[in-house]
Amino acid sequence: MAPELLLDSNIRLWVVLPIVFITFLVGVIRHYVSILLQSDKKLTLEQVSDSQVLIRSRILRENGKYIPKQSFLMRKFYFNNQEDGFLKNTKRKVVPPSPMTDPSMLTDMMKGNVTNVLPMILIGGWINWTFSGFVTTKVPFPLTLRFKPMLQQGIELLSLDASWVSSASWYFLNVFGLRSMYSLILGQDNGADQSRIMQEQMSGAAIAMPADTNKAFKAEWEALELTDHQWALEGVEEELMSRELDLDGMFSKELPTGIF
Amino acid sequence: VNVLIIVFTEMRDKLRKWREDNHRNSEQIVDVGEELINEHASKLGDDIWIIYEQVMIAALDCSRDDLAWTCLQELKKQFPGSQRVKRLAGMRLEALEKYEDASKQYDSILQDDPTNTAARKRKISILKAQGKSAEAIRELNEYLEQFVGDQEAWHELSELYINEHDYGKAAFCLEELMMTNPHNHLYCEQYAEVKYTQGGLENLELSRKYFAQALKLNNGNMRALFGLYMSASHIAASPKVNATVKKANVKYAAWATNQINRAYQVTKTNQLPVEELLLRSS
């Protein structure tokens, strides 16, 4: 239904490709800058210790069936005992690090903003200003009219299909689209990965949550209470002797010695 | 020239394989590594630093303090203030038996970073090297209270306890290891051996079960097979068991004997006297 517009091929050469390059290079630069500005996350001894205790309790629940019943009960008692069980009685001082009061979190946020949001805004604005007044590309799916003011920033045509977008929207498309390229070139977990960082910010104090060890302890305590001991070695001899041992290759070859 | 390049890459790859597999073949590492460092340093690029570390530890094992010193100097120049390098310096002091200085070195690492496990473990090995096993056990216990997940440490502690003949506690450590590595037949077998040494009917039964488990996990574990045979025969020979248990254990022992026979059939005939001796002693 929409009229097929034929775009000047110059647009392709001088607008589409430069925006791709610019986005990509800015991403790479962001990655290296974020490495330079990285601050060391120092864990306290208590945090390390607690995380390991939680792992041990979980292993006890999952693999407790490989040790004798007595040993399992001994450990369960150690963790869950009414009077002095570790999980029951250890209370950690939980200070939820709110972004405003905790200085290191504040600087981290600032750095995050500076490296990611600021360049995006600046460059987005610059592209909008430079490459304005014409249509850049067409998105392959039809869009409603409501998208027009958003995606067609500088083009004042009322009758133009909303699928035709301006260069600013092409820029934003690139920012998200080049994510997989970054993984290919910079390796996983790179600093140029915009959307991942925004996801982290959205899960907000998710990084601060491990500080809530009390809740973690309580959850482990409940789970451990419910666990029973099903000894995996009940019928092990019968299982073993149901068939002959596989003794192929034993004593048949010399052990290798020497350097090469 | 081509031949030299091939030899160089082979040497570097060998070193990397030994590094990744955690081999302790120190003499070989010193031979290969020394040549690599002296002749081909420029071609190694950034690999050279980790090779320096690997060769240094091997040199300490072989009492090559000259080589260790050069490696340490290079690492210190490149990474001043690094805790990893400080730990290597401490290890060199340990090798020279300057335990006081080594201990101070590790203490300074721990001051900067209390969570540094490597330094704490080195301090414990100093105690072990000095023969202070009771203190070493105590320190290791404290370490494990903080770092419950350190499997290397649990294994070391079990070894220390075995040396002190404290088999109950050694069994506890091995249980931790069995839980974290349920498919490792060696831990099952070691646990079974400790239980067997503890003695007593219940422990013998447990040991037989764990020998069987080790065999189930690895059919080729000869020690476990012999252990199964010995524990089953001991239970069968004990006066306290009832008839059914005795019968079952005799059956287990017979099965084990069969398997042992089968295993040794492929070897040469001069193995036979040993085998007969073992079977006759039951």
* Spatial contact of B116 and B109, defined as CB atoms under 8 Å apart: yes
pLDDT tens across A86-111, in order?
Answer: 777 777 665 555 545 556 666 666 76
Helices B201-217, B185-198: inter-axial angle, 10-degree rounding: 160
- Supply the pLDDT for residue A95: 57
Most A-contacting residue of B10, B12, B175 (CB-CB within 10 A), to test interface = B175
Average pLDDT over chain B, rounded to an integer: 88
Query: d(Cα A197, Cα A191) in Å, to the nearest integer?
Result: 8
Query: d(Cα A74, Cα A151) in Å, to the nearest integer?
Result: 66
Model confidence at A199, pLDDT cuts 50, 70, 90, reads low
Q: What's the DSSP call for residue B132?
A: -
Beta bridge partners of A138: A164
Q: Kindly write down the DSSP assignment for every residue of A5-46, as one continuous string.
A: PPPPHHHIIIIIHHHHHHHHHHHHHHHHHHHHTPPP-PPPHH
Phi-psi region of A253 (alpha: psi -120 to 50; beta: other; left: phi over 0): beta
A244: in domain: no
Average pLDDT over chain A, rounded to an integer: 74
Most B-contacting residue of A61, A227, A240, A253 (CB-CB within 10 A), to test interface = A240
3-state SS assignment for residue B139: helix
Asked if A63 and B179 come within 8 Å (Cβ–Cβ), the reply is: yes
* Spatial contact of A224 and A80, defined as CB atoms under 8 Å apart: yes
Model confidence at B272, pLDDT cuts 50, 70, 90, reads low
Q: How many residues does chain A have?
A: 260
Lowest mean pLDDT among A168-172, B91-95, B202-206: A168-172
Model confidence at A205, pLDDT cuts 50, 70, 90, reads very low
pLDDT tens across B180-190, in order?
Answer: 999 999 999 99
Query: Is residue B161 over pLDDT 50?
Result: yes
A256: in domain: no
Q: Regarding predicted confidence, which is higher, B22 or B6?
A: B22
- Supply the pLDDT for residue A195: 55
Query: d(Cα A104, Cα B118) in Å, to the nearest integer?
Result: 27
A39: in domain: yes
Query: Is residue B98 over pLDDT 60?
Result: yes
A238: in domain: no
CA distance A80 to chain B (A): 17
Beta bridge partners of B219: none
As a whole number, mean pLDDT of residues B50-59 equals: 91
Count of structural domains, chain A: 1
Phi-psi region of A251 (alpha: psi -120 to 50; beta: other; left: phi over 0): left
A167: in domain: yes
A246: in domain: no
- Supply the pLDDT for residue B273: 63
CA distance A185 to chain B (A): 20
CA distance A225 to chain B (A): 18
This prediction has a pTM of 0.71
Asked if A247 and B262 come within 8 Å (Cβ–Cβ), the reply is: yes
Model confidence at B279, pLDDT cuts 50, 70, 90, reads confident
* Spatial contact of A260 and A97, defined as CB atoms under 8 Å apart: no
The whole domain housing A186 covers 9-226
Helices (DSSP H) in B181-242: which residue ranges? Answer: 185-198, 201-217, 222-237
Query: Is residue A147 over pLDDT 80?
Result: no
A161: in domain: yes
Task: Nearest chain B residue to A66 by CA: give it.
Answer: B179
